[in-house]
Structure 1
Amino acid sequence: MPPKWPEKPDPKDPAYRRLGDRINFALHVAIFAACNSGAWFFYTLYRIDEPWTLWASAIWGAVLFAHGVYIFGLANYSQS
């Protein structure tokens, strides 16, 4: 069941912005998991000699980790 906001959405509301960022991060994780599992499946199935899958997974994983650090640790949601 998708999350529901109990009141009229206001982009200036810190809680609303936090929820939006966390939903965005969850979508990022889902796309990462789907693309990586598909890439590694075909890498294993066709025994590709080039290690592009390893590099793509490592770089995208590092970007995903940085995204998570920002969302859960560094983001400032206080009203300005």
Structure 2
Amino acid sequence: MLDSARFADKSPGQVWAILLDEGVYLCSQATMYRLLRERGQSGERRAQAVRPPTSKPELEADRPNLVWSWDIERHEAL
């Protein structure tokens, strides 16, 4: 049913609602999603952003007072 041309561009929730409007109940929405997941037909459809790999910055000083850093630590108030 979910593979038919009629429902090719619909989400399982939309298919479920359309079938209910027609008086047909086959299964729950969760079952539709499970069936698609088991067949490898579900997943994120949007294009995922490609981010450049990040690296930890290497801090190097060749003279005094060139690189400063701080340590932040949380303490509970008494």
The two structures have a TM-score, normalised by structure 2, of: 0.26
**Structure label with greater radius of gyration:** 2
More helix per residue: 1 or 2?
1
